[in-house]
Amino acid sequence: MSSTSVPPLHLAVALDGTGWHPASWREPVARPRDLLTAGYWADLVAEAERGLLDFVTFEDGLGLQSSHYGELDGRTDQVRGRLDAVLIAARIAPLTSHIGLVPTVVSTHTEPFHISKAIATLDYVSTGRAGLRVQLSARPHEADHFGRRTFPPISLESLRTEAGQERLAEHFDEAADYVEVVRRLWDSWEDDAEIRDIATGRFVDRDKLHYVDFEGRHFSVKGPSITPRPPQGQPIVSSLAHQTIPYRLVARATDVGYVTPHDTDDARAIVAEIRAEQQTAGRADELLHVFGDLVVFLDDDEATAVARRERLDALAGEPYTSDARIFTGTPAQLADLLQELQEAGLTGFRLRPAVAGHDLPAITQKLVPELQRRGAFRQAYEADTLRGLLGLARPANRYAAAAATA
């Protein structure tokens, strides 16, 4: 039995189409023709909620899915086409009651003002279960969908060059500005700004509404938001990071970072780097979750899981590779791995089901009970908000705090 001093780990699941393996849509359980329906997503999120998971994330993008990082691939043998992630999350919110809903938003071509009120509204419609996962796009073909900026061709190799790193830094600086604006707008209304004072005829106390007055390189935003401060005050901000520049965004601006360690030492090193950046950012005393991302093929015995992965690889015509570690095995083996990685400093995991219709129920019905048996995961939802589930307090409003000390 694990020591009782180890805090329970947190579990999220990343939803993307029929699953993360490109041939997942060909599985009998996959429902590829339902991907554009609300019912498909409602069923997946209901399953995740039955498993008491902290939250689900919804992948998204401003272009068709592709097997290449920087361009379209013209393939017709994989799932292509998707719905807006914020709208999916909103559509599901009234059908669920505890699980967090974290859609992906692209910072590069969208407006922080729109996203701030969209996620605030998701927080209202879910009564405190909203978050966002911020993602940037350096892809030239996605820039062409907007026609306001042009980006040079990009590949994972080009990003490793000095010029690539500079470019990446610029995109991440923009993402950091974006998150800063979104967060300021959430705080631009104090919690008690609505007064309905019949004596003076005033609906709000305008002194409790604040201009955010952000001036940055790519945009400036005046504020205040049109949407009052959401139930959580600040919904959860998260992002995926694979190297130093993105780790810095995680450390500076997010509540949850997703990282992709390939072994325990790697996990320890990544966590150390993020914690150091967190210190540099002056947030050392704030709770910042670092979740490990893992693709999972889960079956009752390892051979079945391996065979399933090989069968899907054969259908895809090539072995599946991922930025994240790919786990193939049993729920008990995965529980061992998660606990080992947790000891390296990870506070939770975002599991990417290889086949949503198979591996998500395996997570909720097999892995979760296994972790519960070990005392490593919750037995029931202990909070009504996503912040509550993650152990994050509702933050004070930065403007109210400033006004109080002024």
Partner 1 sequence: MSKPLKQIHLAAHFPGVNNTTVWSDPAAGSHIEFSSFAHFARTAERAKFDFLFLAEGLRLREQGGKIYDLDVVGRPDTFTILAALAAVTEHLGLTGTINSTFNEPYEVARQFASLDHLSDGRAAWNVVTSWDAFTGENFRRGGFLPQDERYSRAKEFLATTQELFDSWHGDEIVADQATGTFLSDAKAGAFVHQGQHFDIQGQFNVPRSPQGRPVIFQAGDSDEGREFAAAGADAIFSRYSTLTEGQAFYTDVKSRLAKYGRRSDQLLILPAATFVLGDTDAEAEDLAKEVRRQQVSGATAIKHLEFVWNRDLSSYDPDGPLPDIDPDVSDNHISKGRAQVRMYRDPLATAREWRERAEANGWSIRDLVIETGNRQAFIGSPSTVAKTINDFVQADASDGFILVPHITPTGLDPFADKVVPLLQEQGVFRTEYEGPTLRDHLGLAHPDDVREERAAS
Identify residues 246-285 at the interface with partner 1 (CB under 8 A): none
Q: CB 54 → partner 1: shortest distance, Å?
A: 21
Contact assessment for residue 331 and residue 371, using Cβ atoms and an 8 Å cutoff: no
- Residue among 1, 4, 5, 201 that touches partner 1 (CB under 8 A): 201
Per CB under 8 A, the segment of 165-173, 201-209, 232-240, 338-346 that binds partner 1 is 201-209
- Residue among 148, 217, 285, 404 that touches partner 1 (CB under 8 A): 148
Taking the C-alpha atoms of residue 230 and residue 217, their distance in angstroms, rounded to an integer, is: 27
Contact pattern for partner 1 over residues 165 through 194, marking x by CB under 8 A: ------------------------x----x
Q: Of 221, 179, 234, give the one whose Cα is nearest residue 400.
A: 234
CA 22 from centre of chain: 20
CA dihedral 65→66→69→73, nearest 10 degrees, is -150
Cβ proximity to partner 1, 122 vs 270, nearer residue: 122
Per CB under 8 A, the segment of 64-72, 238-246, 341-349, 388-396 that binds partner 1 is 64-72
Q: CB 5 → partner 1: shortest distance, Å?
A: 40
Contact assessment for residue 100 and residue 129, using Cβ atoms and an 8 Å cutoff: yes
Q: CB 82 → partner 1: shortest distance, Å?
A: 6
Cβ proximity to partner 1, 213 vs 382, nearer residue: 213
Cβ proximity to partner 1, 55 vs 349, nearer residue: 55
Q: Is 120 left (phi over 0), alpha (psi -120 to 50) or beta?
A: alpha
Show contacts with partner 1 in window 302-341 (CB under 8 A): 315
Rule CB under 8 A: say whether 109 interacts with partner 1: yes
Taking the C-alpha atoms of residue 291 and residue 287, their distance in angstroms, rounded to an integer, is: 13
Cβ proximity to partner 1, 63 vs 369, nearer residue: 63
Rule CB under 8 A: say whether 403 interacts with partner 1: no
Show contacts with partner 1 in window 65-84 (CB under 8 A): 65, 72, 74-84
Residue 260 burial by Cβ neighbours in a 10 Å radius (0-12, 13-18, 19+) = buried
One-character DSSP codes across 253-318: H-SEEEE--SSHHHHHHHHHHHHHHHHHTT-TTS--EEEEEEEEEE-SSHHHHHHHHHHHHHHHTS
Cβ proximity to partner 1, 122 vs 368, nearer residue: 122
Rule CB under 8 A: say whether 360 interacts with partner 1: no
Q: CB 158 → partner 1: shortest distance, Å?
A: 21
Show contacts with partner 1 in window 116-145 (CB under 8 A): 117-118, 120-122, 124-125, 127, 141-142, 144-145
Q: CB 49 → partner 1: shortest distance, Å?
A: 15
Beta bridge partners, 102, equal 57
Tokens of 379: 């037995």
Contact assessment for residue 324 and residue 293, using Cβ atoms and an 8 Å cutoff: yes
Tokens of 365: 């019905």
Rule CB under 8 A: say whether 28 interacts with partner 1: yes
Q: Of 395, 389, 393, 352, give the one whose Cα is nearest residue 97.
A: 389
Cβ proximity to partner 1, 80 vs 398, nearer residue: 80
Rule CB under 8 A: say whether 217 interacts with partner 1: no
